[in-house]
Chains A and B, each alone.
Chain A
Amino acid sequence: MSANGTGPSLVLVLAVGVLVGCGVTLLLERSLTRILLGIILLGNGVNLLILLGGRPGAPPVVGLSPTDRMSDAVPQAMVLTSIVITFGLTAFLLAVGYRSWYLTGDDEVPDDLEDRQIVRRAERDEVATSDRGGEGANGDPEQVDPEPARRRLRRGDGAG
């Protein structure tokens, strides 16, 4: 893989596989705490994966080692950035999980309310009430012409 013939070590590759695998499994859970643990594992797995992309070697400091033996510094810089980002996001998710537990006594992520309503309606095979309109012109007092006042026939006029 790398320039001097040493490929990535098998241990690292296995570690990436295990971390990502465990992370994905945990992500499939419903409880936010487990999802959080999954994200941490997944994030670390991905960070290791990035590190694998670079060349291993001596510290990349000029003067300490010859240039061709130096390790690749770019993946290390990327990993540092992404560790910071993962850390921040983890902290935020922890706060969300805590808030969820504080509000509902639970940190499960439930289905969406509207989704559940629509599923229920679909099971009963009915249309949303608002679509039927509910009222035609008759239901709207302003659209109906007022009934003409009934004409009273007075005794005096007309067919006498």
Chain B
Amino acid sequence: MNRLLPLPVVVPLLGAALTLVLGRWPRLQRAISVGGLATTLAVAAVLLVQAYRHGPVVLAIGGWPPPVGIVLVADQLAALMLVVSAAVTLCVLLYSIGQGQADIGENAPITIYHPTYLVLTAGVTNAFLAGDLFNLFVGFEILLAASFVLITLGGTETRIRTGSTYVVVSILSSMVFLASVGLVYAATGTLNMAQLAERLDALPGGVRLALQLMLLLAFGVKAAVFPLSAWLPDSYPTAPAPVTAVFAGLLTKVGVYAIIRTETLLFPGGQVGTLLLVVAGLTMLIGILGAVAQSDMKRLFSFTLVSHIGYMIFGVGLSTLAGLSGAIFYVVHHITIQTTLFLVAGLVEVRAGSTDLRRLGGLARVAPLLGVLFFVPAMNLAGVPPLSGFLGKLGLLQAGVAAGGALPAALVAAGTATSLLTLYVASRVWNIAFWRAPRLATAEPTVRLPTLMVGATVALVALGLALTVAAGPLFDVTADAAADLRDRTPYVRAVFPGGTP
């Protein structure tokens, strides 16, 4: 079974090479990328089942045994993230193919789009599967390098302007990450995470805290946690819709995943929990207040993205079983919903010619299907019962109440306020763009929305609803994953069956 483990990384990389060579045959290119991502999704699903039933799946690459060689580890958390990310990337790929068939112009994906997109997927899956700190860094670099190309796609003036901010901030965070990897190695003499789990415990408290804070700083920038989040709303909205959607869904969540992994496996307990809680509350409130002020749909969703990262950090900061479980559920929910909303924003742009709220109106009457496609995920994001957003928030708030104390109580209050403000923001967009008198930014006659774009969005909306229906079993998986994370032994024992060297 563990021979399947490299496939989620290798298949997209091979696909990238093939699509690059076959750039002249767009049809073949599309078939390869769709096939590659579908394979990834299937393998990820198999891995999830395997990890749920029999514990973490481990593979030492090249047959080199663990502390020397590199391991890939798919425990339940990693496998769950793999499944969701593969499903979302596949949907977004279909959407962008639909868009590519529809319009030729600035938004049309060029030949380089497919290879870069597949490399991005490989980076994301590599980061999820990495069982080694340096391999995690390499995964981050792969996905960042691909994201640099995607965000400056076409090289227009706005994209270069916003892209340069994004590139510089990302490189800076990578430097911090790299420096902390070097320091971790200097302090412990290993980079294998399972081995680090033991060796870091033996370090003096001050050194341990310094290493933890440096890693947290690096991941905080990538996850867009409040004081480090200012780059996100400036850079995401200008990219093509599918690119923004996949960035919003996945890239920040890879940062959150890295935070979950390091906080549970490498640095459990400790003083940082308080810091995380404070930062989580600020992220929620300041992010959503930013969203209230925006008048462009894509920028507005970027701010809600930042804001809802706070919920996940809240769960991690609690570091209780319920908190972690809620955080993992929330990550899964938020990847799906936030991607859907950006895809809908892309559809609005195609249909109405703009995503600027000042120039939109009455879309619900002009394009009823678009209205439904926006309404369901928007209400889901805001946490209207009985949708998955409500369940995720409820799980986290319950965990906060159960944890007791003043700070978790304040966080519960902040979480509730954020949920209400998200509802306000979502209904504001609904009222202005969909409900008031019809007003379109373009005077052009009706554009038919490409079937594939609508189909992919419908699929993602359906996935969001499926998360609601399957919330019970999903919570079982996340609770199990959280229990494993808090235990640490299943992970360590899977990597070193014969005891840690």
Contacts and interface: CB of A to CB of B under 8 A. Distances in A.
Interface of A: 27, 32, 35, 39, 42-43, 46, 49-50, 52-54, 74-75, 78, 81-82, 85, 88-89, 92-93, 96-97, 99-100, 103-104, 109-110, 112-115, 118, 128-131, 133-135, 139-143
Contact of B179 (A46, A114, A140): A46
Given A39-B171, A114-B294, A135-B437, 8 more contacts: A27-B172, A39-B172, A46-B182, A54-B186, A78-B134, A103-B155, A112-B233, A118-B293
Shortest 3 CB-CB contacts between residues of A and residues of B = A53-B186, A50-B182, A140-B437
Contact of B178 (A82, A100, A110, A118): A82
A78 B350 CA distance: 46
Contacts of A118: 293-294
B175 A42 contact: yes
A103 B183 CA distance: 41
A75 B357 CA distance: 52
A76 B244 CA distance: 37
B138 interface: yes
A114 B299 contact: yes
B182 A96 contact: no
B185 A75 contact: yes
B427 to A, nearest CB: 12
B175 A100 contact: no
A89 B171 contact: yes
Contacts of B437: 135, 139-143
Interface SS of B by simple majority = helix
B161 interface: yes
A134 B360 CA distance: 12
A85 B178 CA distance: 11
A54 B183 CA distance: 10
A110 B182 contact: no
A96 B145 contact: no
A97 to B, nearest CB: 8
Contacts of B155: 99, 103
Contacts of A75: 182, 185
18 contacts: A74-B191, A75-B182, A81-B138, A85-B141, A85-B174, A89-B171, A92-B145, A92-B167, A93-B164, A93-B171, A96-B163, A96-B164, A100-B161, A103-B155, A103-B156, A109-B168, A114-B294, A135-B437
B145 A89 contact: yes
Contacts of B234: 112, 115
Contacts of A140: 362, 436-437
Given A114-B294, A130-B432, A46 B175 contact: yes
B148 interface: yes
B428 interface: yes
A32 to B, nearest CB: 6
B245 interface: no
B164 A100 contact: yes
Interface in B407-431: 428, 431
Nearest to A16: B179
Contacts of B432: 130-131, 133
Interface string B181-200: 11101100001000000000
B157 interface: yes
Contacts of B431: 133
A37 B296 CA distance: 35
Interface string B298-310: 0100000000000
Given A50-B182, A75-B185, A103-B160, A130 B358 contact: yes
A35 B233 CA distance: 21
Nearest to A115: B234
B295 interface: yes
B398 interface: no
B267 to A, nearest CB: 19
A112 B162 contact: yes
A78 B141 CA distance: 13
B358 A129 contact: yes
Contacts of A139: 437
